[in-house]
Structure 1
């Protein structure tokens, strides 16, 4: 059975953190869709790359999702955290025990929503103070229950492979790592 993942993008998202997840998941045959939180599908990354997402938030039904992902970057993380329909979707998903994942500054959105209370989590170094209620970790990727967090651009491949491992098993994650000449720790 194919897995379905949605990754939410706002202007100013960190290119590598978002697109590494998309690239590696597609290599693993996971059906991942990029979703704009704007009315239109045009997004500009934090480094000025213009792109089109697969979908716009308001035209999408997320009931088939196995995982929801938010990348970091500024001001992308700020915009994601301010977009109430996304926060409501993430909260509903989280409360159902389904998998949510965030990298870099984006775990602070999870903290604001109360997802990290009493959980182990990580984030970009300057964002660690924003992990209210969490047991802060310096690990590159932290999985605590249905919540996965990661530190930043330098951990994007580890983050993506971890998500693949959670959805399809470690053997598949290892195969994808090998296919892109990446040594897993």
Structure 2
């Protein structure tokens, strides 16, 4: 069974985080919700408290995917977490899947893994950061073991791309059918 880690801090974007967790679990991917703060309850950007499965110190590097939901406060907290940034860089360099949506591609930038990569993000989050990457205004961008996406309304496509990367096109199609994506 594939394993994914979804990282949280206070201020996470609830739709981006919980949709990904839900859809990956529907695809029979083991998902751990991991707090990057010293609390097993993280408060979302819209005041929804969510219980985490683990604290970051309780994890190892045995996941197939490392996923970062957005939320500006969430991303700001994670950009200050050297231990997390070191972990991201390490697993990315081991060719593990690293995924970020909305403001959280800035976490990956801070970890130093976006150089030469094609990415996207929430519009404007990189306005004060100069280059090193190829920014595309697309729903979801895949570049090797890196998946990035723009924001809450596109979370469905972000999650499906992660499912496809981990479990293949057939599993993605199965989940698309289950969630009635064709009706959109």
TM-score by length of 2: 0.95
Cα distance between partner residues in 2 of 1:33 and 1:110: 20
Note closer, same or farther for the CA distance 1:184–1:98 as it changes in structure 2 (3 Å cut). farther
Cα distance between partner residues in 2 of 1:84 and 1:98: 19
Cα distance between partner residues in 2 of 1:40 and 1:171: 37
In the TM superposition, residue 30 of structure 1 has moved relative to its aligned partner by 0.2
1:148 is matched with which residue? 147
Q: Is the 8 A contact 2:86 2:111 kept in 1?
A: no
2:107 is matched with which residue? 109
TM-score by length of 1: 0.94
Cα distance between partner residues in 1 of 2:112 and 2:178: 37
1:90 is matched with which residue? 88
Cα distance between partner residues in 2 of 1:87 and 1:22: 21
SS in 2 for 1:35: strand
Cα distance between partner residues in 2 of 1:3 and 1:184: 29
Q: Is the 8 A contact 1:158 1:184 kept in 2?
A: no
CA displacement 1:137-164 (0-9 Å, x = unmatched): 0110001011111000011000000000
For structure 2, which runs of at least 5 residues remain unmatched after alignment? none
Cα distance between partner residues in 1 of 2:183 and 2:142: 16
1:81 is matched with which residue? 79
**Among 93, 115, 118, the residue aligned to 2:116:** 118
1:44 is matched with which residue? 43
Q: How many residues align?
A: 183
Cα distance between partner residues in 2 of 1:34 and 1:11: 13
Q: Is the 8 A contact 2:85 2:110 kept in 1?
A: no
**Aligned structure 1 segments of 4 or more residues deviating by more than 6 angstroms:** none
2:64 is matched with which residue? 66
SS in 1 for 2:7: strand
Q: Is the 8 A contact 1:116 1:132 kept in 2?
A: no
Cα distance between partner residues in 1 of 2:26 and 2:164: 13
2:171 is matched with which residue? 172
In the TM superposition, residue 112 of structure 1 has moved relative to its aligned partner by 2.1
CA displacement 1:26-53 (0-9 Å, x = unmatched): 0000001100012220110000001110
In the TM superposition, residue 111 of structure 1 has moved relative to its aligned partner by 1.6
